[in-house]
Amino acid sequence: MAYNRHIDQTEEALRELREVYDIDSIDRFIDGMGSGLITTEEQVIEFTNKIRTNDGLAQLEYSRLKKIVNNGFIEKFATNHNKRFNTVQIMMNRMRSSVSRGLKMLEDFCDKKRKKGKSKKKRHVINNSKLGHSPYNISMWGLEQFKESVTTLYKEVCNYKEDLNKNINLALEMIDKVNYVRSHPEIADEIYDNCHRKTVTNSRITIKRLISDNSNVENDILKKIDEWERQKKALKNLKAKLYHTLDEAEWNDLCICDEVMTARQQGITNKERALWGDNKRQVMKARVVYEHLDELEPEGQKGHIGGEFLAHLFYWSNILPNRGVDMWYTYFVESYKVRGLLTPVKIGAIKTARANMATEDKKVQEEFNLKIENLVKKYMVEPKEAEDNISEVVNF
């Protein structure tokens, strides 16, 4: 008789299946062979070969799942197929063979004879398999009463169940990690920023073209983000909700539109006006440099940006004479953290380095300035007219 092998694509169903495969009972196995009418030597050998083939497919699917992990499934803010499937469904689709063939094996250990008075409605295989939740008879003897082929079959079944659970465990591990990120907005925010940085870097040419063409750029998700900002809600919470719900194409569109819109919002802040006055061009240059500073590889000891480097950067920044390094340092740290991955040293180290620069060769600062200006050329689209016209100077 046939059994219902349907399984819901849910965490609960996966965990139940794992519990079934964890059951290791020789009595269940022996009783299941009798119930499944696996009685002859030929049937045992044929079934053994079938289990070995299925086990090979399970191992293949495990390697594919592992590849997804190694390719940064958790570290990616957006992945494909999120509009049609949730994380559980994606994982179960990736191990479709393991799920279906594993359930078919459980069916092979179900009763093959319909008992009188039983409904003709199909019964579920998990609850009726001797290797599952079905009641079973205790054997008077162990495997020693059978031929060696039966012992071999038992070992192959155990190995197969172990490999099936490896797949389930890996899938559940990824599911749990996705749920953890969604419940921890600070982690989702970090993943968002890291992926945003990479996507923008890879889409630099497209962003420049859209800026230069003055293209009409709209994005529904950006509108949602703006709405949350107006409502003074935490954007980290929104990012946590969006994590692994966007397709990669949708994510690329979001990042590009975000950068283009940011480039067009050229208003000078009060902090910037206090540091540079009306020198709008220097403000735009500073924004570019501070946000992309990591490309100059400024890392010093223990992942810090050293005091000497920041002292040279302070001189290049050319702030107003009556503004001190303390005010500049606060602005720099805020700007750098938008994309920067390192930790700037404390301001005391910068002041010490500035004092030591009094006897330094001027060529050192000139060479430093040249590197900075090259970074500016790489990322800042120059205005077509009048360098001081803030509405035509864009950066990203």
Beta bridge partners of 395: 380
Which tokens go with 303?
């992942």
Query: CA–CA separation, 182 vs 176, rounded Å?
Result: 10
Query: CA–CA separation, 284 vs 249, rounded Å?
Result: 30
User: Which residues in 107-142 are b (16+ Cβ under 10 Å) and which e?
Assistant: bbbbbeeeeeeeeeeebbbbebbbbbebebeebeee
Residue with tokens 């494909």, as numbered in its chain: 80
Percent of the chain with pLDDT over 70: 90
β-pairing verdict for 394-395 and 380-381: antiparallel
Query: CA–CA separation, 267 vs 340, rounded Å?
Result: 22
Task: Please choose, from the candidates 96, 95, 88, the residue with its C-alpha nearest in 3D space to the C-alpha of residue 13.
Answer: 88
**Three-state secondary structure along 53-75?**
HHHHHHHHHHHHHHHHHHCCCCC
Which tokens go with 86?
């949730």
Contact 130, 28 (CB under 8 A): yes
Instruction: Give pLDDT, residue 221.
Output: 84
Please report, for the chain, the start and end positions of each structural domain, with discontinuous segments joined by +: 11-182, 185-264, 270-395
Instruction: Give pLDDT, residue 393.
Output: 36
Which tokens go with 53?
């083939």
Residue 204, classed as helix, strand or coil, is helix
Distinct helix (H) and strand (E) counts, the chain: 18, 4
DSSP one-letter code for 155: H
* pLDDT, tens digit (0-9, with 9 covering 90-100), for 45-91: 999 999 999 999 999 999 999 999 999 999 999 988 887 889 999 99
Contact 77, 192 (CB under 8 A): yes
Strands, E, within the chain: which ranges? 304-305, 343-344, 380-381, 394-395
Query: CA–CA separation, 136 vs 3, rounded Å?
Result: 17
Q: How far apart are the first and last CA of the chain?
A: 66
Contact 255, 303 (CB under 8 A): no
Query: CA–CA separation, 291 vs 335, rounded Å?
Result: 6
CA distances from 250 to 78, 135, 197, 211 (A): 8, 51, 16, 19
Q: Long-range contact list for 68-74, CB < 8 A, 24+ apart? A: 68/94, 68/174, 69/170, 69/174, 73/174, 74/174, 74/177, 74/178, 74/181
Instruction: Give pLDDT, residue 388.
Output: 40
Instruction: Give pLDDT, residue 183.
Output: 95
Which tokens go with 306?
């050293």
Neighbours of 277 (CB within 10 A): 14
Query: CA–CA separation, 26 vs 156, rounded Å?
Result: 13
Which tokens go with 326?
């303390």
CA distances from 209 to 127, 148, 212, 256, 260 (A): 61, 72, 5, 11, 10
Neighbours of 258 (CB within 10 A): 20
Query: CA–CA separation, 79 vs 87, rounded Å?
Result: 10
The pTM (predicted TM-score) of the whole model is 0.67
Residues with Cβ within 8 Å of residue 260, at least 6 apart in sequence: 207, 210, 211, 215, 217, 396
For the chain, 396 residues long, give each residue's pLDDT as a single digit of tens. 679 999 999 999 999 999 999 999 999 999 999 999 998 999 999 999 999 999 999 999 999 999 999 999 999 999 888 878 899 999 999 999 999 999 999 999 999 876 655 555 788 999 999 999 999 999 888 898 899 999 999 999 999 999 999 999 999 999 999 999 999 999 999 999 899 988 988 888 887 777 666 666 777 888 888 788 777 778 889 999 999 999 998 899 888 888 777 766 556 676 887 888 878 889 889 998 998 899 998 887 788 899 999 999 999 999 998 888 999 999 999 889 888 889 999 999 999 999 988 888 889 999 999 999 999 988 876 554 333 433 333 343
* pLDDT, tens digit (0-9, with 9 covering 90-100), for 163-211: 999 999 999 999 999 999 999 999 999 999 899 988 988 888 887 777 6
Which stretch of DSSP H or E encloses residue 312? helix 307-317
